[in-house]
């Protein structure tokens, strides 16, 4: 670690010493050394941070009195970052020793690239892609996210089928490298999203501003997943559905946002009924809490639209060249297309 690092590694953290220790140890095993580590203590109430301070006294700890979530925690960490590049990393991850260098090489290869994601594999089942990012993220036109290697709950084995570096729509918050000047230009993550889909929002804005997002599959990251918020929790469903609707209503042009919202609404109702049939009443209720949040926070949607209008230099028609123009819901549930390679 050097005095003027090129990369600031920012790790938001809320409890659990063991996963954070594994993450840090993997970073220090990296062949790339020109970095600083910033851990944002998101109001942890265990002894994890004090243990880390004792073991790694050179790590920069940024304390927050309340849990700011992923978005707010990362934004807080950026305020003290001195690197020209930011590597946002979940605390429940491990990186390969060459990961950072490979990401940097790809990021530096093209001035139009804002961010690069590694191939993300499951820490417990390393032959599989990980739910949170796979080999690069995409959305369909109704803002349902999916990845190379993962569509909804179907996760593929990694057989090298997506090993070509390529343009993607969003890089996973589990771990991605981005240029600090672009992150600041986009005003960072939207704090109001709190957790889930903030990285999709950020990279959507990058595209609106004329930048690109890539995946570099030679770089590998392993993700535990669900260590902060259980994958099946009703709260996670709320954030995913609310934030997806927020993006739909603010990142498109006004007419397209309204039209797509009308198309999206029946799918929300069908999804909620599915939860009810599955005997998950809290998940059913959270669908409608998400919709009510939208209804009572239209002023926040309007404010986001004003902010994004200042960033936008490309029209929806340009952005829709990389957004999936068909319904991923229809492709998956009706046409039984479970793999990214099956999509057309």
- Name the domain count of the chain: 2
Q: If DSSP codes are grouped into helix, strand and coil, which group holds residue 135?
A: coil
The residue-averaged pLDDT of 86-107 equals 98
Is 317 domain-assigned? no
The boundaries of the domain holding residue 248 are 234-311
Supply the CATH number for residue 112's domain.
Answer: 3.90.550.10
Confidence grade of residue 3 (pLDDT, cut at 50, 70, 90)? low
CB 65 within 8 A of CB 38: no
The reply to whether 202 and 96 lie within a common domain is: yes
- Are both 191 and 45 inside the same structural domain? yes
Looking at the structure, tell me whether residues 32 and 161 fall in a common domain: yes
200 lies in the same domain as 241: no
Which run of H or E residues covers position 163? none
Residues 56 and 191 in one domain: yes
> Is 229 part of a structural domain of the chain?
no
Same domain, 203 and 271: no
Same domain, 124 and 239: no
CA dihedral 72, 78, 80, 85 (to 10 degrees): 160
Kindly state whether residues 163 and 44 are assigned to the same domain. yes
Do both 181 and 295 map to the same domain?
no
Please check whether residue 93 lies inside any domain of the structure.
Answer: yes
What pLDDT score was predicted for residue 231? 62
Same domain, 240 and 212: no
Please enumerate in sequence order all residues whose Cβ is within 8 A of that of 53, keeping only pairs 6 or more positions apart, or say none: 59, 61
Residues 154 and 202 in one domain: yes
The pLDDT tens digits of the residues spanning 121-157 come to 999 999 999 999 999 999 999 999 999 999 999 999 9
Residue 31 pLDDT > 70, yes or no?
yes
Q: Does some domain include residue 334? A: no
Q: What are phi and psi of 43, to 5 degrees?
A: 55, 45
Q: Are residues 55 and 155 in the same domain?
A: yes
- Give the pLDDT score at 195: 85
Triad 286, 292, 320: Cα angle to 5°: 90
């Amino acid at each position: 670690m050097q005095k003027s690092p090129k990369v600031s590694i920012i790790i938001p953290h809320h409890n659990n010493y063991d996963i954070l220790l594994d993450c840090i140890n993997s970073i220090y095993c990296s062949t790339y050394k020109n970095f600083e580590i910033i851990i944002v203590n998101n109001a942890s109430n265990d002894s994890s941070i004090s243990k880390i301070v004792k073991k790694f006294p050179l790590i920069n700890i940024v304390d927050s009195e309340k849990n700011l979530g992923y978005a707010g925690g990362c934004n807080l960490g950026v305020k003290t970052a001195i690197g020209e590049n930011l590597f946002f990393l979940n605390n429940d991850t491990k990186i390969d020793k060459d990961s950072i260098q490979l990401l940097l090489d790809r990021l530096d290869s093209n001035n139009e690239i804002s961010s690069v994601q590694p191939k993300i594999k499951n820490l417990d089942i390393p032959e599989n892609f990980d739910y949170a990012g796979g080999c690069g993220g995409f959305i369909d036109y109704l803002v349902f996210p999916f990845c190379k290697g993962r569509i909804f709950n179907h996760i593929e084995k990694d057989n090298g089928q997506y090993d070509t570096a390529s343009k993607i729509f969003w890089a996973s918050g589990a771990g991605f490298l981005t240029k600090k000047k672009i992150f600041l230009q986009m005003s960072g993550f939207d704090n109001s999203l709190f957790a889930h889909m903030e990285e999709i929002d950020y990279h959507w804005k990058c595209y609106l501003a004329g930048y690109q997002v890539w995946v570099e599959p030679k770089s590998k990251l392993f993700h535990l997943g669900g260590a902060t918020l259980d994958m099946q929790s009703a709260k996670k469903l709320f954030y995913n559905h609310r934030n997806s609707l927020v993006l739909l209503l603010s990142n498109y042009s006004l007419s397209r946002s309204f039209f797509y919202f009308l198309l999206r609404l029946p799918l929300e109702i069908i999804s909620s009924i599915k939860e009810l049939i599955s005997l998950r009443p809290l998940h059913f209720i959270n669908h409608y809490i998400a919709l009510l949040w939208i209804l009572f926070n239209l002023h926040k949607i309007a404010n986001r639209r004003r902010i994004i209008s200042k960033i936008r230099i490309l029209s929806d028609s340009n952005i829709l060249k990389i957004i999936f123009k068909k319904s991923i819901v229809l492709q998956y549930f009706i046409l039984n297309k479970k793999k990214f390679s099956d999509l057309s």
